Amino acid sequence: MSARILDGVPLADAIRAEVGAEVQRHRAGGRAPGLAVVIVGENPASQVYVRAKGKACEEAGMHSETVRLPEAVTEAELLATVERLNRDPRIDGFLVQLPLPKHINGERVLNAVDPAKDVDGFHPVNVGKLSIGDPTALKPATPFGVQQMLIRSGIETRGANAVILGRSNIVGKPMASLLIQQGEGGDATVTICHSKSRDLPGICRTADILIVAIGRPEFVTADMVRPGATVIDVGINRVDDPSQPKGYRIVGDVAYGPVSEVAGAITPVPGGVGRMTIAMLLQNTLQAFEQAGGR
């Protein structure tokens, strides 16, 4: 059996088109939503990601702003930038790109973001809202994208056994919160696994839906997957490969080839969940704009 490929590209493009149509409607009525990204230092991966966010924002017709700060910026200076964006009426949502330099307390910075503009969904207020099912919560973009991928691909979550491999605040925990809520894309029975879980392969084999976000290249193998299960690979890892022109290749947290012969559906890496993340960031910005009274 060869798994159905859950291609994130057309799904993300559809969401971006929907957001773009709403943005044009708002622009005609007054102004467009605005998104800002704050980046500290010259981390190459962050630079690429920030450029992609800015391009997607502009393609959707949103106001876009990128704030670039040097690696040596002080925590006080970064907090002052956050406060400026909190007060800026042109900016409806913004995020501070992670990771931050070691001399900066990342938790303090993220908690300084106005929850109403927290399009990353990391502020404790949005975490709490998500956990109780408050529809005004701004949801972390990656798990939100996974949920939309499941919904739009016709993968039934109601009553399904969903196993999440990884317990991070960015993916694992909010993913569980989304899947246990009542309604579309929810009503699942959720298990979260981590490094201290006993019989990890056995737990994974109970999954109708297996979501992997552990940060270990090709960790999940075919013997860990129940035949016919849906496998969502959130991981993005660079591994050395002398046969490739750049000397490396990008792989997920799932051994894609062998697992695709067992699973019923699977996401590729790249081209899967990663494309959904930016689409949901735009969706969050639109939501923040509308919740703030944008017209």
Name the residues annotated as catalytic: 53, 97, 120
Residue corresponding to tokens 């307390």: 105
Closest CA to 67 of 54, 52, 48: 54
What SS3 string covers 61-122? CCEEEEEEECCCCCHHHHHHHHHHHHHCCCCCEEEECCCCCCCCCHHHHHHHCCHHHECCCC
Neighbours of 199 (CB within 10 A): 9
Neighbours of 130 (CB within 10 A): 22
* Sequence-ordered list of residues with C-beta below 8 angstroms from that of 158, at least 6 positions apart, any chain: 186, 187, 188
Residue corresponding to tokens 């949920």: 147
Q: Helices 44-59 and 8-29 meet at what angle, rounded to 10?
A: 50
